[in-house]
């Protein structure tokens, strides 16, 4: 009888090892691509394999991606490929008109915010719930992107229809990677304070803007007569 618990333990060990190896660097699932970094702690990314706007010398790429937010898998539009200098120098002046329309459902408007050097356009409130509910079964989505960035970063207006294939399976694979629940600015426009706080932390200020303000106050006090 002791062999039964021993067999079970061995089976669990083998199964656990097999499960740990299921995180592939990159896999295509229908119209989706699931990419997982080498670092096990780094989150995986699920995106549609067809860019809405191709990356080029004059601007970033626009991609349909999925975020785990508030317990839901929410479709978002991500603008990637901008340098931090470009983000600091001009992205704050961004103007956007971005929407998603699944099959014959009403369009869902997205609000754009800044996450590092990436512009994320996401549905909010009831729109987020509607988008999350429509995504698994939708056969297609029409993405409308009109984003104005200052200077050479201007993007052309683009409306594109994407066929969605095996979305439910792609979401299941994404869920199996246990993605952390991400957060984005909850108000329209770019969250400057949050962005600058992150920049301050990245440049060595442990407590972000609070340390910057404290340092500035101490510097001013030190030069007072």
Spell out the alpha helix ranges (H) of the chain. Answer: 3-20, 84-90, 126-134, 167-176, 192-202, 209-222
My answer on whether 161 and 194 are in the same domain is: no
Residue 117 lies in a domain: yes
Question: How much is the average pLDDT of 35-43?
Answer: 79
My answer on whether 136 and 205 are in the same domain is: no
Residue 59 in tokens: 């601007």
My answer on whether 98 and 153 are in the same domain is: yes
What pLDDT is recorded for position 55? 76
Nearest to 34 by CA among 169, 129, 159: 169
My answer on whether 93 and 196 are in the same domain is: no
Query: Where does the pLDDT of residue 58 fall: very low under 50, low under 70, confident under 90, or very high at 90 and above?
Result: low
Residue 9 lies in a domain: no
**CATH number for 150:** 2.60.40.1880
My answer on whether 170 and 63 are in the same domain is: yes
The number of distinct structural domains making up the chain is 2
137 three-state secondary structure = helix
Residue 124 lies in a domain: yes
Residue 45 lies in a domain: yes
Spell out the alpha helix ranges (H) of 35-166. Answer: 84-90, 126-134
Q: Considering the chain, what percentage of its residues have pLDDT values greater than 70?
A: 56
Pairing mode of beta strands 95-102, 45-48: unpaired
My answer on whether 121 and 167 are in the same domain is: yes
Residue 5 lies in a domain: no
My answer on whether 98 and 201 are in the same domain is: no
Distance of CA 166 to the CA centre of its chain: 20
Instruction: Examine the pLDDT at 64 and tell me if it is beyond 90.
Output: yes
My answer on whether 62 and 171 are in the same domain is: yes
Query: Where does the pLDDT of residue 71 fall: very low under 50, low under 70, confident under 90, or very high at 90 and above?
Result: confident
What lies within 8 Å, CB to CB, of 200 at 6+ separation is 208, 209, 211, 212
My answer on whether 84 and 174 are in the same domain is: yes
Cα 164 to Cα 161: distance, rounded to the nearest angstrom: 10
Q: DSSP character for 160? A: E
**144-196 residue pLDDT tens:** 987 766 555 556 678 899 999 999 999 999 999 888 787 654 433 444 455 55
Nearest to 152 by CA among 58, 42, 50, 54: 58
Q: Is the pTM of this model over 0.85?
A: no
My answer on whether 121 and 196 are in the same domain is: no
Measured from the Cβ of residue 133, the count of other Cβ atoms closer than 10 Å reads 13
Domain hosting residue 135, numbered range: 22-186
CA distances from 75 to 191, 205, 213 (A): 20, 33, 36
Residue 2 lies in a domain: no
Query: Which sign, positive or negative, has the C-alpha torsion 128, 134, 61, 24?
Result: positive
My answer on whether 119 and 196 are in the same domain is: no
Nearest to 171 by CA among 74, 94, 40, 104: 74
My answer on whether 208 and 151 are in the same domain is: no
């Amino acid at each position: 009888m002791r062999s039964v618990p021993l067999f079970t333990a061995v089976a669990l060990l083998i199964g656990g090892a097999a499960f740990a190896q299921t995180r592939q660097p990159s896999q295509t699932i229908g119209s989706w691509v699931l990419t997982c970094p080498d670092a096990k702690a780094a989150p995986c990314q699920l995106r549609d394999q067809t860019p809405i706007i191709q990356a080029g010398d004059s601007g970033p790429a626009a991609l349909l991606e999925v975020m785990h937010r508030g317990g839901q898998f929410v479709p978002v539009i991500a603008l990637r490929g901008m340098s931090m200098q470009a983000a600091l120098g001009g992205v704050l002046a961004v103007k956007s008109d971005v929407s998603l329309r699944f099959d014959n459902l009403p369009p869902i408007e997205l609000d754009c915010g800044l996450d590092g050097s990436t512009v994320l356009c996401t549905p909010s409130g009831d729109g987020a719930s509607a988008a999350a509910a429509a995504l698994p079964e939708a056969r297609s989505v029409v993405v409308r992107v009109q984003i104005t960035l200052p200077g050479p970063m201007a993007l052309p207006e683009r409306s594109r229809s994407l066929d969605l294939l095996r979305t439910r399976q792609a979401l299941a694979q994404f869920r199996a990677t246990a993605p952390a629940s991400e957060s984005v600015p909850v108000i329209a426009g770019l969250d400057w304070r949050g962005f600058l706080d992150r920049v301050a932390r990245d440049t060595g200020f442990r407590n972000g803007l609070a340390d910057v303000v404290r340092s500035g106050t101490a510097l001013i006090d030190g030069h007072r007569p």
